[in-house]
Structure 1
Amino acid sequence: MRTEGLVKRYGRREVVRGVDLQARGGEVVGLLGPNGAGKTTAFCMVAGLVKPTGGSIRLNDHDLPRLPAYKRARLGVGYLPQEASTFRKLTVEQNVRAIAETLPLGRKERDVLVEERLRELKLEKLSGQKAYTLSGGERRRLEITRALVLSPKFLLLDEPFSGVDPISVSEVRKIIRSLRDRGIGIFLTDHNVRETL
């Protein structure tokens, strides 16, 4: 995946200027900078949530700015926002199943997929728990699990360590390394260089 000269303006205010990013499968690339530097806006443009003013976004042979967010997701672009993105009143399993329901699978295939994904990030013991009761680290694991249901080729993780306790930061780092080792390309943002590195 590659961006070149990514620009976003709101009226006369330029919030992103000339961002170039590139990652291959199995690479982790960090976009570091202080709050308000445009990191989240850049990610939202790549994910299809914000239309760029200029520049290009490519995934293999696909020109992404022309595609809506759901088509980008089908091509393998996953996005985890900094803010909580779970369905708070659903259980952990229901959260994962809600994403699996978007796939053209039969019931048995869907059940197997949900079980596999819950097991993958050790969420099976929490499967009946409501999402709003999860710790920051458990919530982040659930969000990553939901993204993995769609078999992404690239994941955009916006401040993945935000709102996560120090022990869970270590867990999230391990998860990121395991995703990288599986060949998933990862872009992540953060304002804390030390924590990220």
Structure 2
Amino acid sequence: FRYRNNFHLKQAHGNPRIKIQNLSVGFSNRLLLDNLKTEILNQENVLISGENGSGKSTLLKSIAGLQKYEGKIKRYGRLSLAFQNSSDSFLKTTVDEEIQLSKKKAFNHYLDDQRQIERWLKKLSLDKLLESSVYTLSGGEQKKLQILLLVIQAPEIVLLDEPFSGLDKKSVLNLISLLQESRSTKIFISHQLFGLDKIISSAYLIKNKKLIKMENIS
């Protein structure tokens, strides 16, 4: 397994947000993840890579409490998971209703100024879609809205499963800039590595059921 980018990882410092101890997950007598151990720090931005079927999404679901596992996962703070299918995240009908709900539900207030939100709506080309149904948006528009809503809600931990799939390079860079404004600890699963050097502080590879910390991505 080879990465197409080559960048050194930034150092993160701070208190733990997630502690994983002796984590194992299996399906139908097949062990998928075996005895994983790691700590993810406050405001750390983590990339998890690996072959298809290696257990990346399973690990995210375990951290989110949506997957049975053996071992311990300690989470320090509130957590949100950005599903691969963006529409699964929506609770309201229109774009504006989703934004207003996220403002009401916000855990922290990193992006609560209406002018800031309007600036990002315009930058993400969502400003003309406020009265549109979220279910009539294109897949790319749903992805952009999903991540904007997460940044407005501002939980302490955000899990992002393929957040950039199907997006052009300009949209990817805009979303990375938006995510850089968030102080949440973020864990990314992404086959799309373009632009991630601007935000990633740690990277792991899942291989042979183990979680391997990497010094750089090359």
TM-score (norm 1): 0.71
Structure 1 position 3, deviation (Å): 1.7
Q: Is residue 76–residue 153 contact of structure 1 (8 Å, CA) maintained in 2?
A: yes
Counterpart for residue 184 of structure 2: 184
- Report Cα offsets for 1:153-176 as digits up to 9, x if no partner: 111111111122222111122122
Q: Given the alignment of the two structures, is residue 119 of structure 1 paired with residue 123 of structure 2, yes or no?
A: no
RMSD across aligned positions (CA): 3.0
Paired residues, number: 172
- Report Cα offsets for 1:106-136 as digits up to 9, x if no partner: xxxxxxx695784363244432122233344
Q: Is residue 46–residue 187 contact of structure 2 (8 Å, CA) maintained in 1?
A: yes
Q: AA paired with 1:76?
A: R
Q: Given the alignment of the two structures, is residue 36 of structure 1 paired with residue 38 of structure 2, yes or no?
A: no
More helix by share: 1
Q: In structure 2, which of residues 74, 77, 81 is the aligned counterpart of residue 79 of structure 1?
A: 81
SS of residue paired to 2:181 = helix
Higher relative contact order (CA 8 A, sep 6+): 2
More strand by share: 2
Where does the alignment leave 5 or more consecutive residues of structure 2 unmatched? Answer: 1-17, 107-111, 198-218
Where does the alignment leave 5 or more consecutive residues of structure 1 unmatched? Answer: 61-74, 104-112
Q: Given the alignment of the two structures, is residue 13 of structure 1 paired with residue 30 of structure 2, yes or no?
A: yes
Alignment of 1:1-197 (within 5 A): 1-52=18-69, 54-60=70-76, 75-84=77-86, 85-87=88-90, 90-99=93-102, 115=114, 118-119=117-118, 121-122=120-121, 123-179=126-182, 183-193=183-193, 196-197=196-197
TM-score (norm 2): 0.65
Structure 1 position 24, deviation (Å): 2.1
- Identical positions, percent: 27
